[in-house]
Amino acid sequence: MAVLDWGALAGVTMLAFGGALGATGRGLRAGLAVQAEGMMILGVVGVAVLTGGDVLGAGFRSSVGLAFGLDPLSGFFLAVLALTAVPTLIFARDYLPGSHGARALAALTAAFLLSLVGVLAARDVIGFLGFWELMTLVPATAILVSRRDREVRSAVYAYLAITHLGGAGVWIALLALAYHGAIGDPAALAAAGAGAQTLVAVAALVGFGTKAGFIPLHAWLPRAHPVAPAHLSALMSGMMIKVALYGLIRVEFQWLGGTPQLLGLALLAIGLISSLGGVLWALVQHELKRLLAYHSIENVGIIALGLGASLLFAHAGNSTWAAIAFAAALLHVANHAIFKTLLFLGAGALQRATNSLDLDHLGGLLRRMPWTGGAFLIGCMAIAGLPPLNGFASEWLVLQSLLHVALHQPLGVALASGVALAGLAATAALALLCFAKVVGLVLLGQPRRAECEAAVDPPVGMVVGMSLLALMCIALGLLPGLVLPTLAGLAPGANGSVLARHAGLILPGTGSYLPLPLALALAALTAALIGLRGKRRAAPAPSWACGQPVVAELGWSSAGFTKSLRLVLEAVLRPRREIEVVQSGGMVQSVTYEGHVPSLLDTSVYEPTVRAGLRTAAVARRLQSGNVRTYAGYLLGLVIGLLVLVYAGVLG
Amino acid sequence: MNVAAGMVQVAGIALAPLLPGSIQTLKARLQGRRGPSVLQPYRTLWRLWHKSAVDPQGTGVIYRSAPPVVAACLLAALAIVPVAGRSGSFGLGNDALVLVGVLALARFVLAAASWDTGNGFALMACARELMISVFGEALLVLALLVAALPAHSTDLLAMSAAAAGGHIWSEPTHWCGLIAFVLVILVETGRQPIDNPDTHLELTMIHEGPLLEYAGRDLAFLQWVGAARHWVILVLGAELFLPHWGGFAVSVGQLALVVCLLCGALALIETEQAKMRILRVPALLGVGCAIALAGAGMWIGGIGV
């Protein structure tokens, strides 16, 4: 154990040292390398704790006083953090130099990673809440260091405002837990009664849910994630929201002292709304990073569906499937962290090469940037949930979990999970539609601008970072069964060896998903068919446009490809169009068209709330007239009021 | 028996073009025309095999590799769908949701190929197909849920066994599942009233659109893929929702008969029904989802005859 203790210390020290070294400017690349090595050591420690099943350092305590330690659940999240952070840091080594505020960003990257590690390793309330707040504030600072225009300031303000309002739930939940002495001790909260349990459960759901990006508390996410520098967007979308899920799992699954059915149903509902809503608004975005940010909401929703199914099974006493559903959610945590990091890094590389992230301004980049394009393509296929990549493995598991809830549970619960099942199937198809669009507009077809024509692959470090992540997508996709039993062992109430270890996913009540044979079969069959097709005799020809010349202006756009879906779902999406026709002398001089799809919750919840808040503030401001006589009047009124209260015997 | 079942599954590669062929012939007869022979799809494949391919300007590796990849997906799907309650040991398992994933992969690859050509008609069709698939996939998964209820499993072998015999027909759930799956068949095979496979007008194409730029052996692969989709989805429907009982040989005979009847039913629907407005398709599929959910609810709630 001593080795692991020292390893964790060394990892954290190297992170801090790497940050300081990066801040010096000349040691920027060396500093990032040291950070990467530190994260690698921490990842190894995480894996060792996860597989060893032992506890490192302190245990959880309700008393005040900093304490740090790791248990298998923390170890899992730490390992995932390392898996995404190491390639990200390798990417940043070639991405950061030359960008605005590079030195500060290198230091802030280390601070951000340290705060993420701190949340995972904290074993007391003060440490947890302290690192939790740092985890929110450091990326906000980093965003403001890199860009300072009005749009960014407003995005950061919305991010801080919403995460702090919602984040109050985290404070309430954890302080209530500490008050009852229930941190790390589920029996204590159960003894405190149903009221305390409900308070903690709801407060944690709101608090951690805000930070994880559950709809309707998600509004900050698509604003803040796209404006950060690429490697920080990747860490925010890939890991920060996962650390929020770590907190949610800690409180709701480990410390609540019960498995309430209502909480399971609530998670199903939240998961369904988040996954469908996230992917729907992702579809109508035209900016790549904003689209990816909305997909984070979708994937957090899928994880919530898995967690909800797990709670429902646990409530019904079906410990095998409770463990499988829990493992499904955790596997999706890892998978989403990996492919979302890959996609955000890819977006950063594409932006560097073409100076644009507008989907309608890219195109033809697979051929011009084969390494970036290839890795990005793999990431797109993984997030679209296509076999044999990793996204499909975990989505298959979540689908199976929901389906088995419907098979084994009483009517009401079963129907709820049936609806969630249909919703998840539709989500998967929508994600496919969305990423078919992204792949088509970004990687395939003709370049839509001169910059795309001249684009080339970025420096080797960026390519290596993305390729590592793409390889992880493939490896986890082909061998998900190797990690599944370990993850199932983390489920509360799991009794040691729930599942046997196979390469594929061989589960009771399913027909088994065997990705490795499937991938081999698809590859062999494709090769055989290409051989069968023989030597290709192909005539070059223009694309068919009914005999008209093919012009780039008539190519399909992001909005065009989703038009039919927008029409079908007009009632939900409520697209807005503004058409302006300038006429003079009976002739149309110019037509300007602008169409966009605002987020339904922005227009129906957030905007009215903000308006009401501003109105209230305007009323309150009238009290502050600035006139001395008015304030004297207030004082007089206060004194008279107090005297009346004393006379009435209310005070003293 | 597994070897025999595996042989029937492999024979599906060769037999699949019979299905669209027979639908076309039956439809022509129903409409008072003589129509093409049942074997016409084979002749088309033969003709295409001896023609050269076409590479639209600016297309790359995705366009060229899509036909073999999509065909490989359908071959894998053929291996996953059991025949007569049995399946050869291909090592791919027989899970219903894996089948959904493999079909989705084929859809994605074809969509990517459409984007590679940048062809307006291909992409219009592709956008529509993907839009319909959003609702179609929810319906398909719900129909599979209904079929999984009696089997307590998503293993297609167990699901087929649970749907065997006569007593399942006294369950209203099974009837609901059947109705939902008929809609799945219409979506997945691209038949009227959802899509018109006979159309020659580019603006109305859905399934045919992405094939527009292909020629020669590439097109032959994709034509076969269309036929194989008929095979996969009709055999799946027969296994999960239509009557079968008895030993393997009897079941294979029944399967052949039922698939022929399904082809006849599709020809009849195609003769009777005009294509519906595309924006109304989601509502139809939504009704299907509601029926499937109601069926599942009846089973779980223990409501039977």
Angle at A25 between CA A21 and CA A27, to 5 degrees: 45
First to last CA, chain A: 62
Residues in chain A: 652
B86 phi, psi to nearest 5 deg: -130, 165
Q: Is B213 on the interface with A (CB under 8 A)?
A: yes
Cβ-based contacts under 8 A for chains A and B: 263
pLDDT value for A1: 56
Cα-Cα-Cα-Cα dihedral sign, residues A523, A526, A529, A534: negative
Residue of A nearest to B104 (CA): A386
| Spatial contact of A435 and A343, defined as CB atoms under 8 Å apart | no
Tokens 């590079």 appear where?
Answer: A102
Q: Report the gap between the CA of A232 and the closest CA in chain B (Å).
A: 30
Write down the residue that tokens 């999706």 correspond to.
Answer: A332
DSSP B6-46: HHHHHHHHHHTTHHHHHHHHHHHHHTT-----TTHHHHHHH
Environment class of A650 (CB within 10 Å of its CB; exposed 0-12, middle 13-18, buried 19+): exposed
- Closest in A385, A407, A428 to B148, CB measured: A407
Write out the two tokens for A424: 């998840």
Cβ atoms within 10 Å of A343's Cβ, excluding its own: 31
Say if residue A528 is exposed, middle or buried (CB neighbours under 10 Å; 0-12, 13-18, 19+).
middle
Query: Residue B155, SS3?
Result: strand
Is A433–B296 a contact, with Cβ atoms under 8 angstroms apart?
Answer: no
CA distance B34 to chain A (A): 31
Cβ <8 Å between B120 and A545: yes
Residue A416: CB atoms within 10 A of its CB come to 21
Facing B55 at nearest CB: one of A392, A540, A556: A540
- Among A360, A378, A529, the residue to mutate for chain B (most B Cβ within 10 A): A529
Q: Dump pLDDT digits (tens) for A55-78.
A: 888 889 888 888 999 999 999 999
Task: Indicate if the pLDDT at residue B154 is higher than 60.
Answer: yes
Strands (E), B201-280: none
How many angstroms separate the Cα of B286 from the Cα of each of A408, B25, B180?
25, 32, 10
Contact status, residue B199 vs residue B278, Cβ threshold 8 Å: no
Structure tokens at A165: 């309002």
CA gyration radius for chain B?
19
Residue A579 dihedral angles phi and psi, to the nearest 5°: -115, 130
Whether the CB of B79 is below 8 Å from some CB of chain A: the reply is: yes
| Token pair for B205 | 């194409």
Indicate the SS3 state at residue A240.
helix
Question: What φ, ψ does residue A580 adopt, rounded to 5°?
Answer: -125, 120
What's the token pair of residue B305? 């005859």
| Pairwise CA distance, residues B295 & B175, whole Å | 8
Read off the tokens for A419.
């609806």
Joined together, the tokens standing for residue A481 give: 């069964």
Give the SS3 label for residue B157: helix
**Burial class for A622, CB neighbours closer than 10 Å (0-12, 13-18, 19+):** exposed
Q: Are A613 and A621 in contact (CB under 8 A)?
A: no
Amino acid making up residue A561: F
- A chain contacts of residue B183, beta-carbon cutoff 8 Å: none
- Phi then psi for A339, rounded to 5 degrees? -75, -25
Comparing CA positions, the residue from B121, B127, B136 lying closest to residue B194 is B136
Containing A539, the helix (H) or strand (E) segment is: strand A538-541
Chain B residues lying within 8 Å of A530, measured CB to CB:
65, 68
Q: Report how far Cα A594 is from the mean position of its chain's Cα atoms.
A: 30
Q: Grade residue B305 by pLDDT with cuts at 50, 70 and 90.
A: very low
Contacts with B97 from chain A: Cβ below 8 Å: 396, 399-400, 403, 510, 513
User: What is the predicted pLDDT for the residue at B304?
Assistant: 55
Instruction: List chain B residues with CB under 8 Å of A396.
Output: 97-98, 101
Gap between the terminal Cα atoms of chain B: 35
**Residue owning tokens 């194989």:** B228
Average pLDDT over residues B63-77: 96
> How crowded is residue B31: how many other Cβ atoms within 10 Å of its Cβ?
11
Which residues in chain A show pLDDT less than 70? 1, 495-498, 652
Kindly tell me the sign of the dihedral angle through the C-alpha atoms of B263, B268, B271, B274: negative
Round to whole Å and give the CA distance between B40 and B22. Answer: 9
Alpha helix locations (H) across A193-287?
194-212, 221-227, 230-235, 241-249, 261-283
- The shortest C-alpha distance from A517 to chain B (Å) reads 6
Lowest mean pLDDT among A402-406, A551-555, B45-49, B64-68: A551-555
Instruction: Take residue B108 and report the two structure tokens written for it.
Output: 């994605």
Mean pLDDT of B129-139: 94
| Residue A337 near residue A80 (C-beta atoms within 8 A) | yes
The candidate with the shortest Cα–Cα distance to A289, out of A243, A238, A230, A242, is A230
CA dihedral sign of residues A424, A428, A433, A438: positive
- Determine contact, residues A174/A124, Cβ cutoff 8 Å: no
What string of DSSP letters covers A14-25? HHHHHHHHHHTS
Taking the CA atoms of chain A, what radius of gyration do you get in angstroms? 27
3-state secondary structure of A488: helix
ipTM: 0.95
Assign residue A493 a region (left: φ > 0; alpha: ψ between -120 and 50; beta: otherwise): left
| Closest by CA position to A529, among listed B115, B182, B228, B255 | B228
Whole-angstrom Cα distance, residue A507 to residue A397?
A: 10
Phi, psi of A501 (to 5 degrees): -95, 120
In chain B, residues 57-76 whose CB comes closer than 8 Å to chain A:
57-58, 60, 62, 64-65, 67-69, 71-73, 75-76
pLDDT tens digits, residue range A429-446? 999 999 999 999 999 988
CA pair distance A471, A450, nearest whole angstrom: 31
Residue A601: what pLDDT? 82
- The burial of B40, by beta-carbon neighbours within 10 Å (0-12 exposed, 13-18 middle, 19 or more buried), is given as middle
Token digits of residue B123: 């992409």
Tokens 């260091």 belong to residue: A145
**What φ, ψ does residue A56 adopt, rounded to 5°?**
-110, 135
Are the beta carbons of A163 and A40 closer than 8 angstroms?
A: no
What is the pLDDT at residue A452? 87
Number of H helices, E strands in chain A: 28, 5
Q: Phi and psi for A442 in degrees, rounded to 5?
A: -90, -45
- The Cα B195–Cα B131 span in angstroms is 13
Cα A449 to Cα B197: distance, rounded to the nearest angstrom: 37
3-class DSSP state of A140 = helix
DSSP assignments along A408-441, one per residue? HS-HHHHHHHHHHHHHHHHHHHHHHHHHHHHIII
Rounded to 5 degrees, what angle do the CA atoms A547, A553, A555 make?
A: 70
Longest dimension (CA), chain A: 104
> Residue A38 forms beta bridges with which residues?
none
- At A236, list the tokens: 């925010």
